[in-house]
């Protein structure tokens, strides 16, 4: 039996992750967290460590996976679980930097979504509302991010946009 897919969008530091975490905590389901970020520098490492500590204190089962998102979702999604993926945008960053086949990765994720049991909540940055990037890589990133958000939103039963910590329901 397929579950429910949700998508939480917003800008950087908009409150989207906190909103998604509250959404997951408001269920009676076992909570799993798929973190897609890699450690890029000391400041980022410190931030990730704070997240690790907070998730452990809040009784999340954490899976750190920068690339094999589809595979971890298939392994971890279950009827009795809510799986929060934070975030799709960092996953895309990893794919771009590794020069992965992005279309194949998106297609694999999209094909898996309809059959995932339980609740899956995706967090992603909405990057199309800012100034146009000045570099080719920046433009590719913005375009791929927009494409990924649209593809996941098509499968989502609920889509929320977060600004200043406040949700705006876009779908569902």
Q: Is 63 a catalytic residue?
A: no
What's the domain count of the chain? 1
Output the pTM of the full model. 0.93
Q: CATH code at 72?
A: 3.40.50.300
CA–CA gap between residue 149 and residue 104 (Å, rounded): 15
Give the model confidence (pLDDT) of 130-163 as tens digits: 788 889 999 999 999 999 999 999 999 999 999 9
166's CB contacts (< 8 A; 6+ apart) are: 15
Give the model confidence (pLDDT) of 77-134 as tens digits: 999 999 999 999 999 999 999 999 999 999 999 999 999 999 999 999 999 887 888 8
CA–CA gap between residue 98 and residue 38 (Å, rounded): 12
Range of the domain at 140: 4-171
**Which of 32, 44, 51, 63 is labelled catalytic?**
51
């Amino acid at each position: 039996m397929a579950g429910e897919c949700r998508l939480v969008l917003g800008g950087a530091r908009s409150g989207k992750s906190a909103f998604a975490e509250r959404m997951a905590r408001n269920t009676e389901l076992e909570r799993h967290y798929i973190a897609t970020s890699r450690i890029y520098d000391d400041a980022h490492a410190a931030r990730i460590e704070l997240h690790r500590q907070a998730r452990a204190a809040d009784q999340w089962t954490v899976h750190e996976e920068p690339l094999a998102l589809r595979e971890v979702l298939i392994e971890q999604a279950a009827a009795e679980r809510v799986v929060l993926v934070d975030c799709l945008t960092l996953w895309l960053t990893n794919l771009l930097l590794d020069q992965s086949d992005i279309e194949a990765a998106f297609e694999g994720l999209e094909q898996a979504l309809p059959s995932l049991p339980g609740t899956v909540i995706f967090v992603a940055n909405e990057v199309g509302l800012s100034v146009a990037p000045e570099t080719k890589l920046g433009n590719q990133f913005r375009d791929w991010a927009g494409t990924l958000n649209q593809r996941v939103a098509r499968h989502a039963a609920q889509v929320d946009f977060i600004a200043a910590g406040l949700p705006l329901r876009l779908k569902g």
